[in-house]
A and B are shown apart, each in its own frame.
Chain A
Amino acid sequence: MYTYYIIKNSERGINLRIEAHPILDFKRGNPVSFTFDGVRVEACDNMTIAVALHAAGFKGISESMLKKRPRGLFCAIGNCSSCMMVVDGVPNVRTCLELCKDGMVVETQRGKGALI
């Protein structure tokens, strides 16, 4: 069996967001909230879904197709397809590029995603 690190979603409730940074200033957008697999997640409208989930402690956001290994935020620029999730019923959404909207429903995608 593989001995890779499983990044569990058990760290929910924590805030990994950097509030004060020595170099960067952060422009936070308007607060919004959405649900991830039924759990309410607070975010801002100028951050992407994957980033909001990562900051909220949800590090495993999808799984690999064959071996069901956990996948987290990887390239964060829309290249690697590690962050594909079901957003408002639409599968294969690259959540690292998709901005958060108030009330959207985000679910973990199992396998290739059903179109109908």
Chain B
Amino acid sequence: MLINTGIPTKEQVLSVFPPAERLEKGPVAVIECFQRIPCNPCQTACRRGAIKPFEDISDLPVIDGDKCNGCGLCVSMCPGLAIMVVDMSYSKDKALVKLPYEFAPLPKEGDTVTALDREGKPVCDAEVIKVLNTAAMDKTPVVSLAVDKEFIYGVRHFGSAGVPPAPYNEVSSQPDDISIICRCNDIDIKQLHDLIAQGFTSIDEIKRISRLGMGPCQGRNCVPLVLAELSCAMGKNVSEISPGTYRPVTRSVSLAAIAAYSESKETLNE
């Protein structure tokens, strides 16, 4: 699922690729932008007007295959590194894939690297044809790889040859019993759930029974977490639950500072 993992499905990838006839004609940009966010550098970067003007800044870019010549200006402009250029006319059996690459060290031209797919799994070996890193690209170098034509729908990234990619593990978003809610007074989520089950259902009650929110951080970290837990437990919106009594923000002051202040007052009075 794209929303959970950031990895688009095969259908989603195919939906943004230009048709095969256009790919055969020469280099063209492929924009894998699936989420509506207010962002338009690709549209303003294109000097040929190949990305259709946005009616709304959140519009998804739509590329005009007839106008795009695969120059790659938009590749380094996209803050999400969502754009690549595919050139099926590179040679008889190889295609050229231009990828944005914000990693160190940069490969050198002529290197052999391992091309990776969208999940980070190895696809094939690829030769580095060109590495572009000009000042105008603002530290988003574009690396051109020659890969077999059959792999153009798979290759999206690359790693050093011979280095196995780190395995992808889905991280559980479920807290375990010892997930800490209050860092200052050592309240974990199990204790909080027990308190809520006992009927302490407001921040002020929980604060008085457990000292949660009364440590040196003054509730900056725990109160939002408790509000979220109360909201889940009571089925209420967070905005309907009182965030408790806030007292003026204080911070520890050294006795020397207080003494110096009172001394300066005494001299004033004299």
Contact with B along A60-100 (1 / 0, CB 8 A): 00001111010100110001111010000010100000000
Q: Given B106, B186, B215, B221, which contacts A69 in the complex, CB threshold below 8 Å?
A: B186
Residues of A contacting B104 with CB < 8 Å?
20-22
Q: Which of B110-146 contact A (CB under 8 A)?
A: 139
Q: Given B102, B105, B184, B254, which contacts A81 in the complex, CB threshold below 8 Å?
A: B184
Residues of B contacting A20 with CB < 8 Å?
104-105
Given contacts A79-B217, A79-B220, contact A4 B186 (CB under 8 A): no
A21 to B184, CA, bound (A): 35
Residues of B contacting A75 with CB < 8 Å?
221
Answer yes or no: A26 CB below 8 A from chain B CBs: no
Residues of B contacting A79 with CB < 8 Å?
217, 220-221
Residues of A contacting B184 with CB < 8 Å?
64-65, 81
* Cβ–Cβ contact B102 & A64, under 8 A: no
* Cβ–Cβ contact B215 & A81, under 8 A: yes
Answer yes or no: A23 CB below 8 A from chain B CBs: yes
* Cβ–Cβ contact B186 & A64, under 8 A: yes
Size category of the binding interface on chain B:
10 to 19
Q: Which of B149-197 contact A (CB under 8 A)?
A: 178, 183-186
Chain B, Cβ-Cβ closest to A4 = B178
Given contacts A20-B104, A64-B186, A71-B183, contact A115 B215 (CB under 8 A): no
Which of B103, B105, B184 has its CB near the most chain A CB atoms (within 10 A)? B184
* Cβ–Cβ contact A84 & B216, under 8 A: yes
Q: Given A22, A23, A65, which contacts B186 in the complex, CB threshold below 8 Å?
A: A65
Answer yes or no: B209 CB below 8 A from chain A CBs: no
Answer yes or no: A10 CB below 8 A from chain B CBs: no
* Cβ–Cβ contact A80 & B139, under 8 A: no
A2 to B177, CA, bound (A): 10
Where chain B touches its partner, the secondary structure class is loop
A74 to B252, CA, bound (A): 20
Answer yes or no: A30 CB below 8 A from chain B CBs: no
Name the distance in Å between B78's Cβ and chain A's nearest Cβ.
14
* Cβ–Cβ contact A22 & B103, under 8 A: yes
Name the distance in Å between B42's Cβ and chain A's nearest Cβ.
19
Name the distance in Å between B101's Cβ and chain A's nearest Cβ.
8
* Cβ–Cβ contact A66 & B221, under 8 A: no
* Cβ–Cβ contact A90 & B178, under 8 A: no
Answer yes or no: B255 CB below 8 A from chain A CBs: yes
Residues of B contacting A82 with CB < 8 Å?
183
Residues of A contacting B102 with CB < 8 Å?
22-23
A116 to B254, CA, bound (A): 11
A86 to B106, CA, bound (A): 43
B residues bordering A, Cβ < 8 Å?
A: 102-106, 139, 178, 183-186, 215-217, 220-221, 252, 254-255
- 18 contacts across the A-B interface (CB closer than 8 A): A3-B178, A20-B105, A22-B103, A22-B104, A22-B106, A23-B102, A64-B186, A65-B185, A65-B186, A66-B185, A67-B186, A69-B186, A75-B221, A79-B221, A81-B183, A81-B215, A81-B216, A92-B252
A residues bordering B, Cβ < 8 Å?
A: 2-4, 20-23, 64-67, 69, 71, 74-75, 79-82, 84, 90, 92, 115-116
Q: A3-B178, A22-B103, A81-B216 are in contact. List 10 more A-B contacts (CB 8 A).
A: A2-B178, A21-B104, A22-B139, A64-B186, A65-B215, A69-B186, A75-B221, A79-B221, A81-B217, A116-B255
